[in-house]
Amino acid sequence: MKLPSSSTGCPLDSLLRVLSGRWTIYILCRLHKNGDTRFGELKRQMPGISSKMLTERLRILENAEIISRHHEPTVPPRVTYSLTTEGRELTTILDQINTLAYQWQEQENGGANARTRRKKRIQ
């Protein structure tokens, strides 16, 4: 894996610099869920992202060797993106974070519902 250098020398800092960009986690989730995906399909699955931003994020992930790009010289060119071995390792951790996020959301919603029920009883 080729991560950007960190001024602190910390590998976690380098990895988080790659992952912290807007849309990056969502791109990884789409590739994890759908497998090999063409550029146009990725763009359709991500309303609101510009072609320029998608291209930029894909290049960053490709340079870090988290995803791979396969180009077929057809007319029009066929470009497919997929997760590398390192990218698949990363999605294991992202799945765990996703599970935690859902748990926290559920707890928050449960707490909000309980507060609403208490408030209604008081009135």
Which residues lie below 8 Å from residue 110, measured CB to CB, with a gap of 6+?
Answer: none
Q: What percent of the chain has pLDDT over 70?
A: 88
Look up tokens 């800092």; give the residue.
Answer: 13
Q: Do the Cβ atoms of 27 and 77 come closer than 8 Å?
A: no
Q: From residue 73, how far is each of 36, 54, 76, 79 by CA, in Å?
A: 17, 21, 8, 9
Tokens representing 109? 């919603």
**E strands present in 23-77:** 37-38, 67-72
Q: What pLDDT does residue 116 have? A: 54
Read off the pLDDT band of 104 (50, 70, 90): very high
Phi, psi dihedral angles at 75 (to 5 degrees): -115, 115
- Rounded to the nearest integer, the mean pLDDT of the chain is 87
Q: What pLDDT does residue 118 have? A: 46
Q: What pLDDT does residue 77 have? A: 86
Read off the pLDDT band of 10 (50, 70, 90): confident
Partners of 82 in the β-ladder: 68
Can you tell me the mean pLDDT for 50-67?
A: 96
Domain architecture of the chain: domains with CATH: 11-122 (1.10.10.10)
Q: Mean pLDDT lowest for which of 50-59, 62-71, 91-100?
A: 91-100
Can you tell me the mean pLDDT for 106-114?
A: 75
